[in-house]
Structure 1
Amino acid sequence: MKKAKKAVLVMAALLLLLSPFAPWITENAAEARALGAFKAQWKHTSDGCGFNCVDCGAKRTRRVWFGRKIEIEYACGMLPSDSPEYHKRKELFVSFLGTVHGK
């Protein structure tokens, strides 16, 4: 029992020490989570926002404390033309737990 308790404490301490850096949240994983959460937000809206435009999607990813910030580019509604001037940008945060914030 003593060894098991010590192992649990060591694992908890290791997780606590690594959480600010979140090495398990890779760039690709963070982008996939952010894009998936954004798409899910607009899933049931007939003329909502999405990434079906030229050069839309994840634009920039950077590591921050306790996760990553992802800048996305998207378009909403009926566009007169698929031009960057009609696109919007937003920054989302993917936490060390894998949750997406800023939707």
Structure 2
Amino acid sequence: MKKIKFIVAGVILIVSGLLFSPWVTESFAKQRAINAFNDQWKNVQDGCGFNCKDCGVKTSEKTLLGRKVVIEYACGLLPSDSPEYHKKKELFVSFLGTVH
């Protein structure tokens, strides 16, 4: 009986650790999101990037199993570097470090 309680307690501890994923810090999630986005556009001519005014990570919010990160970026040649030509995208950084 003690063995079953020990196993159940271990499973509960592991599952709660995965759900709240304390190792996915804000700085880790921001860096993973930026790197994943840059990798996606690495070899694209006139692609998308963060080389615009006030572009980059806008918000980072803790969620179950990871973090939600909102980035702002621009694509191609812009008529002017103003927010009306920028785009926003929401990315999810999981507790495994993968970006979706």
Q: TM-score range by the shorter chain?
A: 0.7 to 0.9
Q: 1:34-53 residue pairs with structure 2 within 5 A?
A: 34-53=33-52
Separation in 1, partners of 2:12, 2:39:
35
1:15 aligns with 2:14: yes
Same amino acid, percent of matched pairs: 60
- TM-score with structure 1 setting the length: 0.85
Separation in 2, partners of 1:15, 1:25:
15
Measured against aligned partners, the alpha-carbon deviations of 1:9-56 in whole angstroms (never above 9, x if no partner) come to 94x653322111110000000000001000000000011000000000
> Which AA in structure 2 matches 1:72?
I
> Which AA in structure 2 matches 1:88?
K
* Root mean square deviation, CA, Å: 1.7
Separation in 2, partners of 1:32, 1:20:
21
Give the aligned length. 94
Q: 1:1-103 residue pairs with structure 2 within 5 A?
A: 10=10, 14-101=13-100
Separation in 1, partners of 2:38, 2:31:
10
Measured against aligned partners, the alpha-carbon deviations of 1:39-98 in whole angstroms (never above 9, x if no partner) come to 000000011000000000000000011000000000000001100000000000000000
Unpaired runs of 5+ residues, structure 2, are 1-5
- TM-score with structure 2 setting the length: 0.87
